Copies of this chain bind each other. A is one copy, B any other.
Amino acid sequence: MTDTTPEQLDRVLDAAVAAAAVLRDRTPAERAGHLRAAADALDGAADRLIPLAQEESHLPLPRLTGELKRTTFQLRLFADEIEAGAYLHATIDHADPGWGMGPRPDLRRMLVPIGPVAVWAASNFPFAFSVAGGDTASALAAGCPVVLVAHPGHPRLSEATAQVLVAALEGAGAPTGVFVLVEGQDTGRALITDPRVAAGAFTGSLRGGRALFDLASARETPIPFYGELGSVNPAFVTASASASRAEEVAQGFAASMTLGVGQFCTKPGLLFVPADSPVPALVAERLRETAGAPMLNERIRGGYGQGLASLASHEVVEVLAGSVDPDTDPAPTLLRTSAAEVLADPRPLTAEVFGPAALVVEYTDDEELLAAARVLEGQLTATVQGDQGDAVVPALLAVLSERAGRVLWGGWPTGVTVSYAQQHGGPYPATTAVGTTSVGTAAIERFLRPVAYQDLPEALLPEPLQDANPWSVPQRIDGVQHP
């Protein structure tokens, strides 16, 4: 992997700006065609890409096959979405001399592409959150060129994926410069501070993401930076669920926390259980049956070891299963503390440890459970294992809705489907942009900005705002949605 030079980056960004101008005049059908061509080409290249991914990520074949399917499904779902056109939020207010605050002119508002977007690939999903992943798909769907910073954890796969993607986009008639892969940490810093870049999107560590967010915010012209930075994804087991289905809960939790060697943004890292619950021992039993597995790369392996050691060294934490001084392929590890200790020192005890480790937190009553939930920081997900009649449930759901982007009932947070209602985001530090999602069709909104046109003749209006509505997009007309 060779770092992109400043001169190369300069050309890449000029090309991205030029591509943005070309894309603006393309129809939704044309842009949907770009995305579908990319999906087809990636599916067609599976035989070449998947072995590279296996080699560089150490992830098992079924996982990678499923992840590539997710990636191309996502591109096609965005293609459908931009053809449907609701994402434009086309709104038409005809001139109205009788408008309540005084005569109003003809005003028409829609969303337009924000401009060239810088995307940082993540290491843990070498397809779905990397070169052709969700950020790239949603930015391209919005009509924005993408400059993608490859993740050094899978360099050959990144370059191979980019080649397939670029060839497919160009073959489908997309302008040169609509997607370019670049490499290097310095390149990333140069990108986020370049005036030609209009937004950034990132999935990765709190430290790395915050540094980029700070650069984006400190620019002379600040730009939005959509960082998905980390989450400990607490799960809460009520007394009744602990009593009635401890085995089922333990099995589900153990499977979720060890999936992908614990290397998911949504891995549950905290398990709140009643003080006398059989669940922790059952989870520990399951984990002892689960073999260690290689992590994505040495850097992540090192970070896991440090984070786990730091958590385990806390005087109120004990080890129930696994090892805090693990081998190369870490065994799943379960730790234990109490809710009283979490309330006394929340930050170190509720910090994310990226890898196959989790902390059991024992609580004495519902009041303590709610108090502990209230000290948690922003989360991607929060999970409740309870029964509808549990007195604590309404209050617990209310507290979790304030702190998490997705609240689950009776399931587990790993496995993030791509759909219309998905929300993969949450208050900081889960993300740097609490109002947004990086997964699901709403992810496109991050790369759009509104423009209103006042008193423009029909012929000069963008198609979605014309009365004739040649693209047949949904329009809100004088306050009423059609259709």
Contacts and interface: CB of A to CB of B under 8 A. Distances in A.
Interface in A62-88: 66, 69-70, 73-74, 76-77, 86
Interface stretch (A50-58, A151-159, A163-171, A397-405): A397-405
Nearest to A73: B101
A339 interface: no
Contacts of A408: 453-455
Given A24-B398, A101-B69, A450-B437, A409 B109 contact: no
Contacts of A429: 221
Contacts of A437: 450
B435 A99 contact: no
A109 B217 contact: no
B435 A66 contact: no
A108 B425 CA distance: 14
A282 to B, nearest CB: 22
Contacts of A70: 101-102
A66 B455 contact: no
A273 to B, nearest CB: 20
Interface in A461-483: 474, 476, 478-479, 481, 483
A460 B401 CA distance: 12
A421 B86 contact: no
A107 interface: yes
Nearest to A436: B450
A184 interface: no
A48 interface: no
A109 B442 contact: yes
A257 B39 CA distance: 52
Interface residues of A, number: 89
A421 B217 contact: no
A409 B450 contact: no
A402 B420 CA distance: 28
A458 to B, nearest CB: 10
* Identical copies of this chain, number: 2
Contact of A417 (B99, B218, B483): B99
A67 to B, nearest CB: 10
A112 B425 CA distance: 14
A362 to B, nearest CB: 25
Contacts of A445: 435
Q: Which of A24, A76, A428, A453 has the most CB of B within 10 A?
A: A453
Given A99-B417, A114-B435, A453 B405 contact: no
A411 B455 contact: yes
A406 interface: yes
Which of A66, A421, A460 has most B Cβ within 10 Å? A421
Most interface-central of A115, A218, A432, A451 (chain B CB within 10 A): A451
B409 A454 contact: yes
A150 to B, nearest CB: 24
A114 B398 contact: no
A92 to B, nearest CB: 6
Contacts of A440: 109
Interface in A193-229: 213-214, 217-218, 221-224
Contacts of A102: 66, 69-70, 417
A9 interface: no
Contacts of A420: 91, 93, 109, 476, 478-479
A449 interface: yes
A419 B221 contact: no
- Most interface-central of A419, A448, A455 (chain B CB within 10 A): A419
Nearest to A476: B420
B421 A109 contact: yes
A104 interface: yes
A440 B89 CA distance: 14
A291 interface: no
A104 B217 contact: no
Contact of A423 (B109, B221, B394, B456): B109
Given A24-B398, A93-B417, A435-B450, 5 more contacts: A99-B419, A109-B423, A404-B451, A425-B450, A483-B483
26 contacts: A89-B442, A93-B419, A93-B421, A105-B417, A107-B417, A107-B419, A109-B442, A114-B434, A114-B435, A217-B222, A222-B428, A388-B459, A388-B460, A397-B456, A406-B451, A406-B453, A407-B451, A407-B452, A407-B453, A408-B453, A409-B453, A420-B476, A421-B476, A427-B449, A437-B450, A481-B481
